[in-house]
Structure 1
Amino acid sequence: MSGANKVQKREADAEPVPGLFTLVLHTHLPWLAHHGRWPVGEEWLYQSWSACYLPLVRVLRTLAAENRRHLITLGVTPVVAAQLDDPYCLQGMQHWLANWQLRAVEAATMRTASGASPASEPKALRQFGSREHTEAERELAEFDALWRHGASPALRELLDGEVIELLGGPLAHPFQPLLNPRLREFALREGLADAAHRFAHSPTGIWAPECAYSPGMEAGYADAGVSHFMVDGPSLHGDTALGRPVGDSGVVAFGRDLQVSYRVWSPKSGYPGHAAYRDFHTYDHATGLKPARVTGRAVPSEEKAPYDPARADAAVDVHVADFVETVRQRLSAESARIGRPAHVVAAFDTELFGHWWYEGPVWLERVLRALPAAGVRVGTLSDAIADGFVGSPVELPPSSWGSGKDWQVWSGEQVADLVQLNSEVVDTALSTVDKALARGGSLDAPTPRDFVADQILRETLLTVSSDWPFMVSKDSAADYARYRAHLHAHATREISAALASGRDDHAQRLAEGWNRADGLFGALDARRLPGR
């Protein structure tokens, strides 16, 4: 009997639990191409691509080959999709993978200690380097076979096969509650159109940036054709056992089940901190590789033990079993509480699985096999709606999945200057674009497309990305975040000022110059900006 048949037999023999389990992954990074390399910039993209995105597609293709469908709901923001399809980024990724392979060769042939930690001792580093070389070689082959024309073909195959459900989102990931309604509507509609263009699938669900919600936003979602979106558990007052239509809109909000999600990852705990797993923060400085295991939460980097794959693999099995039992118990308890089969949603950043937690992709693959084998039905958010896992309407409070579950990370005193900057830049952009478009048409001819107006909106959307205030509030590369926000604000103002003063040729040259770095969202069309 084959391995797949054995799994199917176990699934048939398992005692089922009521309800449905959905795993939601949110894939997002800011626009990094052409804006620095190290320590923050393109390196962040390439690390995530190699450690998360390639392994995730590999896992999903492997499970699809076992005739498994409706495995996860995958959010891919337009700004990530743009980078994974961008020729410059594709070339950069090829170079990064080749460089990784060279660094692994260096580690595999190391004869002298390259660092102070036990993990950087020559024998340990040689063993580690040999494994890294094998992994880099595999990823180079996969990249050439599946990714050389971008992520869209690989993801489209998974969508066509109903392996995943796709969640879309607004262009450039703005914090929507603080955004001018005209630009909010434009960003969402353009983001959904971008996904349809890339993947030949129009997402009906979205991952609202930062799970942020403001009363009334559901009306905009309904108008844009969105049928469901994600919020954090506290937005539904902790009752996440069913999706809930928001007001009278018919748009369903699904809440992240914190009891289950925090089992994997929380602000203070979770599986990735286990002593056996690879340590994210400890580098071998000669090769740039990460050869140590966590060892202990209080153990300094210079005392970290060498990574042991067998020890880590055993820990993965323990954590798979723990998660499956957690989901079973939660489904049973929630179903009993509400008197009908319940829905449990666990949601995470995709980058957790591989980038922050090296063993995460292996854990995902095993969990997605183990849950059905344990009698847990796995499906997508769309499955939940189709199968009636929807309760009575609810009014949602202003909320997010950030610290405090409110807006403070993006609107607090620490980022008040960025809030003001965003407001001023958006006002400038909308006023300038309105005037530019108004003079472009006539009664006898439609308004032609305006490259300069398009670039103004492109730079404005990059200015208001939610990443910049998040990074400042969390003191994570805060200087880079402020630099990026002000850089795109400057671009918006510079082009707008040239246009407003009648220097059309100069505005065109400025727009072309900025577009060489920020040429994402090529189909963005300022003519579709909603009227005042």
Structure 2
Amino acid sequence: MFTLVLHTHLPWLAHHGRWPVGEEWLYQSWSACYLPLVRVLRRLAAEDRTNLLTLGVTPVVAAQLDDPYCLDAMEHWLANWRLRATEAAVSPTAGAEPGTACAPEAIRAFGAREHAEAQAELDEFAGLWRHGGSPVLRELADAGTVELLGGPLAHPFQPLLAPRLREFALTEGLADAAARFGRTPAGIWAPECAYAPGMERGYADAGVGHFMVDGPSLHGDTALGRPVGDTDVVAFGRDLSVSYRVWSPKSGYPGHAAYRDFHTYHHGTGLKPARVTGRAVPSEAKAPYDPARADAAVDTHVADFVDTVRRRLISESERIGRPAHVVAAFDTELFGHWWHEGPIWLERVLRALPAAGVRVGTLADARAQGFVGRPVQLPPSSWGSGKDWQVWSGDQVGDLVRLNAEVVDTALNAVDKAAEVARGAAGLGGPIPRDRVADQILRETLLTVSSDWPFMVSKNSAAEYARYRAHLHAHATREIAGALAAGRRDAAQRLADGWNRADGLFGALDSRRLRPPC
């Protein structure tokens, strides 16, 4: 069996900047990736194709796809895209060399195509997405088209998180998914595929049946899922030899000369009119994007991937002496956002694999159908550089590690004291009212410890923005907790309400469900 797993994740971006980092990242991904991916899945579902892939959608992404502010802003972004395409089609900037992507004649043709795409997405968004992403994803899950994976709130790096907050983030994240999709996910994508020994027991307690790790966590032996420790929780490993066929910095498909170049912009309109052309070709010399040339490359890479999967399934089955399971896993945002042709490639692969005799199923299918081997003890691991924790705990992010520990300690102390006061006021056995102040403290704390910030710093990708966001949410936590500790309950409430206007995600988060300290 072959399983394709997609991990859909962005940090909370609403109300926290627009360009060059901020909300624009969300709207670009929504337009270039989420809309086309759903379009592909709905087409395949209409042909009665089921169990196509396992789709992880983190609670923080689900929250943004349902958020009224984000929905309004997304529609505005699509309309602005259409406007920019109109500008490109009728009044391109002169000056670029003839024959290059930004030459006037090339921009006019590109703008006309972009205008048609923008109009189509505007129409589709208004008809399908305008009331939120949850109904869209729920329909796909209900039809058996996809298996949805859940995850902990705000995507924390779990091994470094205080156990009580780790448990709270996971159980609240699963509850959030159940509220949005009408079902509690049987599996999760552990943020960053990060694992520490013993976490499987927390998964079992939360009702998680399976989760993803990277291939090296299983020493490369990913041909079967493995129960972890003495639990029934199954770890599925990403097959790197297959996954890297697609997404490798040196030889992955998206770098092909025919595909749209992610990094080259037409500065007058912000559109991306070039094809990769060549790795050493500067942006100003890139050739115009040619859809027909790109389409031919897609067919070539579909055939190559199908052949790669078949050969890997055969070789792994022979090696283990029983039918093998191969898992390819990627960030969802690769397909459309980073790699423009990715959704087309996905659709053709999902048609071509069964036609080539490859059985396609989800992680839940694999577990139900016995693609599970002997128990394993997993090492501390992740899918980051070095396959250890260095991206999130190394010297380059030591300040963030210390910040996270301090903020979590501050938050837990504040919430515990508030709960103690509330229990005393309620009397023996009396109902404890919900505490919106404590809720917001936990909400800001979870945003502080998001794994995105150290990742962006370690990779030097908008590192300044990442540090700003981590310290902003840390400040919010301290500010609210400080007012509460000083006995200024009214001030703490005002502060919590103010921060909630920007960070109001996870409305059902309830601090009363945080396990009391031992």
> 1:212-223 to 2 correspondence within 5 Å?
212-223=194-205
Secondary structure of the 2:464 match is: helix
Cα deviation, residue 203, structure 1: 0.1
Conserved in 1, the CA contact under 8 Å of 2:457 and 2:463? yes
- The 1:112/1:187 distance shift into structure 2, 3 A limit, reads closer
Secondary structure of the 1:120 match is: coil
Conserved in 2, the CA contact under 8 Å of 1:246 and 1:252? yes
345, 350, 369: which one pairs with 1:363?
345
Letter of the structure 2 residue corresponding to residue 182 of structure 1 = R
464, 467, 470: which one pairs with 2:455?
470
Secondary structure of the 1:438 match is: helix
> 1:61-460 to 2 correspondence within 5 Å?
61-113=42-94, 115=96, 118-441=100-423, 442-460=427-445
Residue of structure 2 equivalent to 1:502: 487
Query: Matched residues in 2 for 1:217 and 1:111: separation?
Result: 56
Cα deviation, residue 328, structure 1: 0.3
Letter of the structure 2 residue corresponding to residue 487 of structure 1 = L
Residue of structure 1 equivalent to 2:10: 29
Answering whether residue 23 of structure 2 is matched by residue 42 of structure 1, we say yes
Answering whether residue 516 of structure 2 is matched by residue 531 of structure 1, we say yes
Cα deviation, residue 444, structure 1: 4.3
Query: 1:16-51 deviations in whole A, cap 9, x for unaligned?
Result: xxxx00000000000000000000000000000000
Residue of structure 1 equivalent to 2:446: 461
Letter of the structure 2 residue corresponding to residue 525 of structure 1 = D
Structure 1: runs of 5+ lacking an equivalent: 1-19
Query: Matched residues in 1 for 2:81 and 2:92: separation?
Result: 19
Residue of structure 2 equivalent to 1:56: 37
Query: Matched residues in 2 for 1:312 and 1:112: separation?
Result: 25
Secondary structure of the 2:467 match is: helix
Query: 1:48-94 deviations in whole A, cap 9, x for unaligned?
Result: 00000000000000000111000000000000000000000000000
Conserved in 2, the CA contact under 8 Å of 1:247 and 1:393? yes
Query: Matched residues in 1 for 2:40 and 2:377: separation?
Result: 38
Cα deviation, residue 269, structure 1: 2.6
Secondary structure of the 1:440 match is: helix
- The 1:216/1:267 distance shift into structure 2, 3 A limit, reads farther
Conserved in 2, the CA contact under 8 Å of 1:168 and 1:191? yes
Secondary structure of the 1:22 match is: strand
Conserved in 2, the CA contact under 8 Å of 1:195 and 1:203? yes
Query: Matched residues in 2 for 1:244 and 1:113: separation?
Result: 60
Structure 2: runs of 5+ lacking an equivalent: none
Query: Matched residues in 2 for 1:142 and 1:202: separation?
Result: 28
TM-score normalised by the chain length of structure 2: 0.98
Cα deviation, residue 518, structure 1: 0.1
Cα deviation, residue 115, structure 1: 4.8
Conserved in 1, the CA contact under 8 Å of 2:223 and 2:324? yes
Cα deviation, residue 531, structure 1: 1.6
Conserved in 1, the CA contact under 8 Å of 2:448 and 2:471? yes
> Which range moves more in the overlay, 505-514 or 111-120?
111-120
Secondary structure of the 1:306 match is: coil
Conserved in 2, the CA contact under 8 Å of 1:115 and 1:286? no
Percent identity of paired positions between Structure 1 and Structure 2: 81
Cα deviation, residue 268, structure 1: 2.9
Cα deviation, residue 242, structure 1: 0.2
- The 1:337/1:91 distance shift into structure 2, 3 A limit, reads same
Conserved in 1, the CA contact under 8 Å of 2:96 and 2:104? no
Conserved in 1, the CA contact under 8 Å of 2:266 and 2:272? yes
Q: Which runs of 4 or more aligned residues in structure 1 lie more than 3 Å from their structure 2 counterparts after TM superposition? A: 114-117
Query: Matched residues in 1 for 2:206 and 2:72: separation?
Result: 35
- The 1:379/1:391 distance shift into structure 2, 3 A limit, reads same
Secondary structure of the 1:119 match is: coil
Letter of the structure 2 residue corresponding to residue 206 of structure 1 = I
Secondary structure of the 1:347 match is: strand
Secondary structure of the 1:428 match is: helix
Cα deviation, residue 112, structure 1: 4.1
Letter of the structure 1 residue corresponding to residue 112 of structure 2 = S
Conserved in 2, the CA contact under 8 Å of 1:114 and 1:286? no
Query: 1:169-216 deviations in whole A, cap 9, x for unaligned?
Result: 000000000000000000000000000000102101000000000000
Letter of the structure 2 residue corresponding to residue 341 of structure 1 = P
Cα deviation, residue 261, structure 1: 0.2
Letter of the structure 2 residue corresponding to residue 510 of structure 1 = L
Secondary structure of the 2:80 match is: helix
